[in-house]
Structure 1
């Protein structure tokens, strides 16, 4: 009797485990780390059968692959906008001490700042290409740069005006459209709040999303921009659901930490010629996940309160007034 109970356990390492537990045990040895090398479902089934045998049907295995890929604690992730599975790596949002764990590796505080500065500069240049004029709030005035972001003001605000270019090739406000907006009671400028993140995971995306929503709720539009590419289908689906529900535009630039480290400094990125910046653009793989839903009006009461609380917001208001007085946009 005793021998019968103990004999299977000694020969079968998976004895007593259900299929989900068995897959959690063996998938880390099978799945590739790189999403670019993702294994298609048919091949993954074949490799799993080499370990588990033929006790489970293809449909059962595919079902469990799918279920586990939406569990942030599981080792399997499904690629977004494609086919195949890869190994989900745990990437904590913050490490102990001055450094942070980003893109899977620990880096020092200064390196975090440099990466984030480069990210800000790249996004500012992308805004200008769309004739959206950025004004950086994070790290402006007497406030030190905080790569984690704040909960009441975004990393930057972009201003969108009706513009025209005269014979002297100088860009100015379109006076006719500006007056029409004023007479019709509409905003003379479209203000979008933008929160930048180096990367998101299934464990922290909810907090990061609602921080971005909170920080930008007083502007006409809310944007969440992520540096690194999002390959995990479960994460993209979750972000898409939140973005559509709350009207937040979500996009990724598709550039990882090591690529940012290889770029020129933030100040050099800001002063690059258009031709030089095209080379930087070539490194980006921009992905639009959701489109922002415009609000009816700016929350002037909140803006007034923030102006008193944050020197950077006070500078933003002065900048907007100066642009309107000159009837010409400026990147500061």
Structure 2
């Protein structure tokens, strides 16, 4: 007996409001995290008296929204205030927030289509640095939304690349001044479809529905107060780091042998790459005498981090792609 069609999956028209990627449409239609969160969004943000239009209602609600999460290094680097100011200066209002914490599984799911370019040694480093502490997830509304380019897409463009050579002065990551491409402080969802999937990864059902209810309330003043209070709470319990390489070497000096320190400095100066096992034999991240962010800062300079692989399996979309799609399907800023 054949199962009935899934009425809780977006139809073709709704998918066009969630992504411009045919590949993403195909993958996310079967993705557990997307499907769970989409079902919650239908219940919380949908049209309760008209089930056939619920998907369209949810897509419209998602269109101006973006998702930004602080990575653990962003909390340790005290980057929240500068980020919040940047969001406000660029026309984004906070509409919801939630405390989050990664584990080795959630981080691999979040970056499932990106981390294939990492060596297994870098995966070990990512497991360490993304699980250090609690952090904060923000849902923001693009108050300059033009009914063509989704808020998530505009925010993703403004975030800027992890590669400093690919960023301009207008980008958030330029403002935050990360020390290298591995320590980069913030994560942003690429498209509305990614906003849905990532909420499904970050939060369980009860937390998801509470976040979506906050989105639906659209009380930006209350939402910003809650977000700032959560940031203050977490910063109060998260040790700060300056992410200064030379200062990190000086701080770890009493905890390592002179030969180990010399080899680490030589590796950093020369570009000689170490394996995870070689690195941790010289500098033990489990040692109570070594601050985790000092280990991370040194590791990001000396670890063999990248492998030969294809580019992003699901590359981020551009504003131009969304504008082209809008023209193709008869949507425009005045529609």
Q: Fold conserved (TM > 0.5)?
A: no
The structure that has the greater radius of gyration is: 1
Q: Which has the higher contact order (CA 8 A, sep 6+)?
A: 2
TM bin, normalised by shorter chain, reads: under 0.3
Structure 2 length normalisation: TM-score?
Answer: 0.24
TM-score by length of 1: 0.25
